[in-house]
Amino acid sequence: MAASPSFDIVSKVDRQEVDNAFHQAEKELGTRFDFRGTGTSIAKSGESGVTITSETEERVSAALDVFKEKLVKRNISLKSLEAGEPRQSGKTFKIDCKVLEGIDTEKAKAISKKIRDDGPKGVQAQIQGDQLRVTAKKKDDLQAVIAFLKQEDFGVALQFTNYR
């Protein structure tokens, strides 16, 4: 007998698209008139981090908006971006951002509970590291789960993969 139908719930971002958005934001900050002479810059920090610096709090926030705009144009959900508050560092202001991937344990438990409570009968969700595997006896039940999870907001960008 064939295995029961299943799909995975993941939270991943396309690193190349994030890279492209970063470079576009960097280029726009260098060429836009309202950023000239403000010392505004965007730099990578670590594997998935970005640091935005400027001389004023307003300009650093505006630079963050430019970066967010570029991410949206590249189909990267803003739920995947964790941006801190502007903080003063000497004479400059900084915002540290991090691109998040994976579903943390607390959110995975919340999603699993939601599927158990509100999903069709016979649907099971298992936490597997930073993703969830959802199985059911019928594919229609899986489609119903996908539909109602798209309506919910768990504070993390969800993708549904490996549907079989």
Segment 108-126, tens digit of pLDDT: 999 999 999 988 888 999 9
CATH topology for the 15-99 domain: Alpha-Beta Plaits (3.30.70)
Provide CATH 3.30.70.860 ranges for the chain: 6-12+103-161
Segment 118-158, tens digit of pLDDT: 888 889 999 998 899 999 998 898 999 999 899 988 888 88
d(CA 109, CA 123): 15
Q: How far apart are the first and last CA of the chain?
A: 15
- Res 2: pLDDT: 54
Provide CATH 3.30.70.990 ranges for the chain: 15-99
Is the pLDDT at 48 greater than 90? The verdict is no
Is the pLDDT at 163 greater than 90? The verdict is no
- Res 77: pLDDT: 92
Domain covering 6-12+103-161 assigned CATH 3.50.50.60 in the classification: no
* Distance from the Cα of residue 142 to its chain's centroid: 23
d(CA 144, CA 68): 32
Question: What's the number of CA atoms in the CB half-sphere (13 Å) around residue 78?
Answer: 10
Torsion over CA: 118, 123, 127, 131 (sign):
negative
How many other β-carbons are positioned within 10 Å of the β-carbon of residue 104? 13
Residue 143: what residue type? Q
Contact criterion met (CB below 8 Å) for 50 and 40: no
Mean pLDDT across the chain, nearest whole number?
91
